[in-house]
Amino acid sequence: LNKIINLGCKVNQYEGYCLLKKFKDEKNVVIVNTCCVTHEAELKSLKKYRAAMRRYPNSRIIVTGCTCTLFPSKFKDADTIIDLETRNAFIQGVYPESGRSRYFLKIQDGCTSSCTYCIVAKVRNRIESKAVSDILEEINQAVKNGFHEVVLVGANIGLYGAERGERLIDLLHTLARVSNLPRIRLSSIEPQFVTDELLHGMNDIPICRHFHIPIQSADDSVLKAMGRAYSQQYLYDMVDRIRSTFDSVMLGADVIVGFPNEGEQEFLHTYQLIDALEFAHVHVFPYSPRPLTSAFSYGDRVSADIKRARRNRLVQCVTEHNLEFRKQMIGRMFDVIIEKEGRRSTGLTDNYVRVSVDKKCALHSLVRVVIADADTEQTIGHLSVDA
Ligand code: SF4
């Protein structure tokens, strides 16, 4: 049976699943889909590759993804190396099959920003956006295959269409004219693209009330050193605008802790913003200097212990806000897409809360629930009689 070992972001995984499909007529193929975003991700990619080489001696080992594109010599014993450019050409027109309940649709690739810590933009540096007609066709196929949610993913989806003078908002306007559109989620959007125009455009489609925003820091001097084009004040205003457009909106963030010029005071600016704006979900990345980036020369000045402690403080803060957020949902009705069957089924609401439903529900189905309780462990929902 063919197999894929996926690492990294949703774009990498989308491309990996497309590649797996391309090899469906071959037997004993093992794909290791690598990621290079942090030093840790790179080490993990190498570990998975070595484990696959040992564990599947009679299989064809294909290594692909970001790390092997930048550093192919690290994978020289693999049977085949497929870099990103070759992969993208090879999977044109292929739709992924991932077995997930939500359909992840890659709408663009590439980023032309020059954030000083980012290695991703070195390896995905050409903007290529899918044609609107291809996106509509892919959504159509996803609906035919029973998906109730499509997640739009990309290396930097705010840059959708930039290479041909189009914008993400134009895509949303087109989607607004499609009947039977499933619910749409933006995977992650850079702060500077969260404009009033985009927020209003999102309101015209069945959009998930969930923003995952890579703020990275909320300290102006750290943001400047990172090469990020916004300020702390912008982030406060941005969240105000989001909250005045959407009710019950889940806010998530990516944060880097331990950037070389981040002292306690700078970290506190980030912590205070996350706390004050009640972010309820966070991915914290302890900073690691990446080769080929301009921040590499700044060194790694914050100790691993301090990075870990800052990470834990943020996670603790967000965990409390998350519980508060879920408690506020009690007594209200939400649509849930079932991701796990069982005596109790579990699935996700549009505002990114995992709900445990008190009845057995069919996998991938969309059910309406009333939230009955929320504690540190789980959020409980009862099937609605209106369902
Ligand atoms: S916006 Fe910055 S962090 Fe994000 S992919 Fe582009 S260069 Fe990297």
Contacts of 10 (CB under 8 A, 6+ apart): 104, 106, 151, 153, 187
- Residue 284 exposed, middle or buried by CB count within 10 Å (0-12, 13-18, 19+): buried
- Tell me which of 35, 37, 113 to substitute to probe ligand 1's pocket, judged by most ligand atoms within 8 Å of the beta carbon: 113
Residue 38 Cα distances to 4, 13, 282, 290, 291, angstroms: 21, 17, 17, 7, 10
Average pLDDT of every residue of the chain? 96
At 1, the pLDDT band (50, 70, 90 cuts) reads confident
Q: What digits encode the pLDDT tens for the residues 106-150?
A: 999 999 999 999 999 999 999 999 999 999 999 999 999 999 999
Q: How much distance in Å is there from the Cα of 60 to the middle of ligand 1?
A: 33
Q: How much distance in Å is there from the Cα of 229 to the middle of ligand 1?
A: 11
φ/ψ of residue 371, rounded to 5: -75, 125
At 98, the pLDDT band (50, 70, 90 cuts) reads confident
Q: How much distance in Å is there from the Cα of 378 to the middle of ligand 1?
A: 34
Asked whether 58 and 75 are in contact (CB, 8 A), the reply is no
At 105, the pLDDT band (50, 70, 90 cuts) reads very high
> Residue 282, Cα to own-chain centre: how many angstroms?
11
Q: Is the pLDDT of residue 44 over 80?
A: yes
Helix (H, G, I), strand (E, B) or coil at 367: strand
Asked whether 211 and 252 are in contact (CB, 8 A), the reply is yes
Per cent of the chain over pLDDT 70 is 99
Residue 99: its pLDDT value, please? 81
First to last CA, the chain: 39
- Tell me which of 35, 115, 213 to substitute to probe ligand 1's pocket, judged by most ligand atoms within 8 Å of the beta carbon: 115
Helix (H, G, I), strand (E, B) or coil at 337: strand
Q: What digits encode the pLDDT tens for the residues 59-76?
A: 999 999 999 999 999 999
CA nearest ligand 1 atom 4, residue: 156
Q: What's the CA angle centered on 103, arms 98 and 107, to 5 degrees?
A: 110
Q: How much distance in Å is there from the Cα of 338 to the middle of ligand 1?
A: 32
Contacts of 57 (CB under 8 A, 6+ apart): none
Q: What digits encode the pLDDT tens for the residues 253-309?
A: 999 999 999 999 999 999 999 999 999 999 999 999 999 999 999 999 999 999 999
Closest ligand 1 atom to Cα of 112: 6
At 386, the pLDDT band (50, 70, 90 cuts) reads low
Beta strands 103-109; 128-129: pairing state: antiparallel
Asked whether 322 and 315 are in contact (CB, 8 A), the reply is no
Q: How much distance in Å is there from the Cα of 120 to the middle of ligand 1?
A: 7
- Tell me which of 156, 212, 285 to substitute to probe ligand 1's pocket, judged by most ligand atoms within 8 Å of the beta carbon: 156
> What span, in angstroms and rounded, lies between the C-alpha atoms of 201 and 9?
26
Q: How much distance in Å is there from the Cα of 31 to the middle of ligand 1?
A: 26
Q: Is the pLDDT of residue 230 over 80?
A: yes
- Write b or e for each residue in 76-88: b if 16 or more Cβ atoms lie within 10 A of its Cβ, otherwise e: eebeebbbbeebb
Supply 326's token pair. Answer: 């879920």
Q: What's the CA angle centered on 209, arms 206 and 215, to 5 degrees?
A: 130
- Residue 303 exposed, middle or buried by CB count within 10 Å (0-12, 13-18, 19+): exposed
Q: How much distance in Å is there from the Cα of 383 to the middle of ligand 1?
A: 41
Closest ligand 1 atom to Cα of 119: 8
CA nearest ligand 1 atom 2, residue: 115
Q: How much distance in Å is there from the Cα of 104 to the middle of ligand 1?
A: 20
**Which secondary-structure segment (H or E) carries 382?**
strand 379-383
Closest ligand 1 atom to Cα of 114: 7
Q: Is the pLDDT of residue 166 over 70?
A: yes
Closest ligand 1 atom to Cα of 190: 1
Closest ligand 1 atom to Cα of 155: 5
Q: What's the CA angle centered on 237, arms 236 and 243, to 5 degrees?
A: 95
Q: Which residues line ligand 1 (CB under 6 A)?
A: 111, 113, 115, 118, 120-121, 155-156, 190
> What span, in angstroms and rounded, lies between the C-alpha atoms of 169 and 70?
33
